[in-house]
Amino acid sequence: MRGKGAVLVGICTLLFAFGASGQKKEASTRGQEKWRVGEPVVYENLSVFPLLARGSADTGGFLTLDEGLTSGEVVVTETGGDMLRRTRGSDPSVGIQAQMQVAQVNQLVLINRSKKPLLLLAGEVVTGGKQDRIIAKDRIVSPGSEPLPLDVFCVEHGRWTGVSSQFKAANMMVHPSVREKAVVDQSQSDVWVTVTAGSSQRASAGSAAPRAITPEVISGVIAGEAQSQSYLKIMQSARVGGQVDSFAGEVARRFARAVESLKEEQVVGVVVAYGGEVAWADAFASPVLFNRYWPKLLRSYAVEALARPQGREHASLQDATEFARPLIGHETVESEPGVYRWREVVQGRLVEVYLDSLSGEALTLHWCKVLRTI
């Protein structure tokens, strides 16, 4: 199974609802579509299993955060800033000014000026303001909506001074160890700790080769190039960024070669393993949407691989297939009627999150699954 040049279809067929479940009319499913776990693309301690689907939803009507910030159709600013006051005018119906008089670490203001719904994924980085931040939770923002409070986590512990009035696209997703602390734990202190630790995964004594990105390496970068403890600057530094670019580039080439011969199936997501442990998965409603996120997702997986111990074990296709199965456990639901629904299912150390669009035909835009670290 290891080292094969083409993706072989997995031995098990999985059912993934690219449509939200529920009894209400607005949340009716568009029907389950089958996807399969393909053979892994393996490089050093990283195994990437493609999720292959025959069908695809139309996701062209959604705007991503990086696209919106780059075009200027989406504005993100500190709370209580000039942009918020200018946008509000004298309309009292917005109702958020009283809560937003001063900048807050874990809240920003977002304005979607575009004509498309905006898709936000937990772990996406925005840079600027008083500190760089990451999106705290998957959500959808309606087009032309009023300024809204946006939950975030800080990933730049050593700065609280304005660089610019607005935030810019970083075109970066934090790696899984940091993303887990936002998606699952919702803990600012744990996010800060993991930014400087590199990975929350502990190595077994004497069982693996040294990591490439260690807390000592990160400390050295912070002492020189990233004194504000900026995640973005750490990951773009010569000492760390070069390794990540090289690693991600090699995986990208191998992955592209492995899937280029696909005919009736397309890649809509991946299951990711480090050594023998399957740890993460991301899937989307269409291959088009997956490809829009793939470069920064891959780079985040590469960071995690370099921050974890180098071992000789590799996860099997059966391991990845089992990981991709839907969970049965405690479910938490948050929603904005007619816009989106966020669902989290917890079963032991496993957590999966669904982001369902409720505008028109209900559709699961993004699904992720996490094996929590201890």
Alpha-carbon distance 63 to 71, whole Å? Answer: 11
Q: Identity (one letter) of the amino acid at 103?
A: A
pLDDT digits (tens, 9 = 90+) for 229-280: 999 999 999 999 999 999 999 999 999 999 998 888 999 999 999 999 999 9
pLDDT over 60 at 115, yes or no = yes
| Tokens matching residue 140 | 């959808």
Amino acid at 172: M
CA distance 186 to 13: 33
Question: Tens of pLDDT along 173-184?
Answer: 999 999 999 889
* Number of DSSP helices (H) and strands (E) in the chain, helices first: 9, 19
Helix, strand, coil % in the chain, rounded to nearest 5: 30, 30, 40
Q: Give 173-215 as a 3 state SS string.
A: ECCHHHHHHHHHHCCHHHHHHHHHHCCCCCCCCCCCECCCCCH
Mean pLDDT of the chain: 84
> Going by DSSP bridges, is the β-strand pair 133-135/330-336 parallel, antiparallel, or unpaired?
unpaired
Task: Name beta bridge partners: 367.
Answer: 283, 354
DSSP string, 263-300: SS-EEEEEEEEETTEEEEEEEESSHHHHHHHHHHHHHH
The model's pTM: 0.86
Across 88-92, 115-119, 211-215, 312-316, which has the greatest mean pLDDT?
115-119
DSSP string for residues in 330-364: EEEEEEETTTEEEEEEEETTEEEEEEEE-SSS-EE
Residue in 319, 334, 331, 335 with CA at minimum distance from that of residue 371 = 319
Residues 6+ apart with CB under 8 A from 296: 66, 124, 171, 172, 173
CA distance 249 to 255: 10
CB atoms closer than 10 angstroms to residue 139: 23
φ, ψ of residue 132 in degrees (nearest 5) = -65, 145
C-alpha 68/C-alpha 76 separation (Å) is 10
Of 83-97, 175-189, 337-351, which range is least confident? Answer: 83-97
